[in-house]
A and B are shown apart, each in its own frame.
Chain A
Amino acid sequence: MWHTVELNVIEFTFLVWAGSLAAGFLGALTGLGGGVVLVPLLTIFFKVDLHYAIGASLVSVIATSSGSAAAYVKEGFSNIRLGMFLEIATTLGALLGAFLTAHIPVNWIAVIFGMMLMYSAYVSRRTRPRTDDTQPPDKLATRLKLNGTFPDTTGVREYNSYRVPAGFSIMFGAGTLSGLLGIGSGALKVVAMDQAMKIPFKVSTTTSNFMIGVTAAASAGVYLSRGYIDPALAMPVMLGVLIGSLLGTRVLVKTKTKNLRLVFSLVIVLLGIQMLWKGLTGTL
């Protein structure tokens, strides 16, 4: 898009800031996360090298996760022990992902990114089957104190966690993707808890948000020492996403987001196709 336009420092910084603000705002408003669209935005429209884009995205993921933690904790849904236990898997995965980034060709990363974008959009559109709570508590989950409670319309409801090894493994994969692509991979984290471990959806989403910052911090260290984090690029991205997502969570309660979610999912799918195409044709 900017092939023929040469931007100066001020113009570039302002436009990247504005784009990141929009991404953060829509990501928070629709609950789909702004991180997934940042890297395509930077690489496709601003012609930024993929490694710099991933580094900047990773930093902004930490900002949104840490910035909104208080709001999520107040709701009383997140399960701290569950999050901390699974963070062992996500941080180890994130280290692996960050190391892989340096060794996997850029075009492969673009292909994986494209598939991840389409998968995130698919997960957000799917209707979830109701899980039944009739099974007896899982022995391993009980020993690890992963069962918990959450506020319900009728008071406090208890729930059990199941299939810990499956959930732990998926979390390792989510961490690897987070480190490889510089995203929060919230969609996959929710799948690990909600689908594999049979944890209530609301608990899964809030616990996932709580884990995202720690997971991203695990790969950010590796990115920093590799020289992938450029302060002049990460500055407008981080400030834009942070302000955008804070505004997004404010408006969240007041607006009907159903149509917006559909539009934003479509944007994610289109960006996914574009990343996939650029990766396969080697034009990124």
Chain B
Amino acid sequence: MEGADRDAVSEIDRDSGISLAKLQDWFDQRIELVIAQLLRAGVLIAAFVVIAGAVLYLAPHPWGRVDYRTFHGEPEQLRTVDGVLHSAFTGQAMGIMQLGLLVLIATPITRVGFSIVAFAMEGDRMYVAFTMLVLAILLYSLFGSFLIA
């Protein structure tokens, strides 16, 4: 299907002289629309996980006090991907909310991953390389930044 579409378009390209930029945009927009809908699904899943955690967090002691005036830093289990996963799957409210936020942080990262596939399908090696660089920076931030921090 994709291949057939592309052949048809290159026909038009030869006949009417539509610019390469125009073709490139047409492919980009179609792929991006699919990716954008996946992104929205990711945000919705994240929101539902956060809400589930919020119910568990608020229900037991709604009249307690909160204090965010001074910075203490989050405990270890809410700082790493491993820690958050463990905390969430042992049913802790804070862990479940943090997992929802982690899903949210992961949505743009997943989008960049899909873009690599999309550029590879178009045979655009230069942009596969650029996008892989962006993905590497994002993964470093999520998994490797504690090395410096």
- A residues near B (Cβ < 8 Å) are 6-10, 12-13, 46-52, 59, 62-63, 65-67, 69-70, 72-74, 76, 78-81, 84-85, 87-88, 91-92, 94-95, 98-99, 102, 144-145, 147-149, 156, 158, 213-214, 216-222, 224-236, 238-239, 242
Residues of A within 8 A of B124 (CB): 145
Q: How far is the CA of A66 from the CA of B41 in the complex (A)?
A: 9
Q: Considering residues A48, A66, A214, which has the most beta carbons from chain B within 10 angstroms of its beta carbon?
A: A66
- B residues near A (Cβ < 8 Å) are 19, 21-22, 24-25, 28-29, 31-33, 35-37, 39-40, 42-43, 46-47, 50-51, 53-54, 57-58, 61-66, 68-71, 73-75, 78-80, 94-95, 97-98, 100-102, 104-109, 111-112, 115, 124, 126-127, 130-131, 133-134, 137-138, 140-143, 145-146, 148-149
Beta-carbon contact of A221 and B130 below 8 Å: no
Dominant secondary structure of chain B at its interface with chain A: helix
With contacts defined as CB atoms under 8 Å apart, how many contacts are there between chain A and chain B in the complex?
229
Beta-carbon contact of B108 and A221 below 8 Å: no
Q: A95 with B25: in contact, given A9-B62, A213-B107 (CB under 8 Å)?
A: no
Beta-carbon contact of B57 and A232 below 8 Å: yes
Beta-carbon contact of A224 and B61 below 8 Å: no
B148 smallest CB distance to A (angstroms): 7
Q: How far is the CA of A114 from the CA of B113 in the complex (A)?
A: 36
Q: How far is the CA of A156 from the CA of B16 in the complex (A)?
A: 15
Beta-carbon contact of B149 and A95 below 8 Å: no
Q: How far is the CA of A183 from the CA of B73 in the complex (A)?
A: 20
Beta-carbon contact of A66 and B107 below 8 Å: yes
Q: How far is the CA of A83 from the CA of B9 in the complex (A)?
A: 24
A211 closest partner in B (C-beta): B108
B94 closest partner in A (C-beta): A231
Which one, B40, B75, B126, B137, contacts A70 given CB within 8 A?
Answer: B40
Beta-carbon contact of B58 and A66 below 8 Å: no
Q: How far is the CA of A230 from the CA of B37 in the complex (A)?
A: 28
Q: How far is the CA of A242 from the CA of B30 in the complex (A)?
A: 25
Beta-carbon contact of B53 and A217 below 8 Å: no
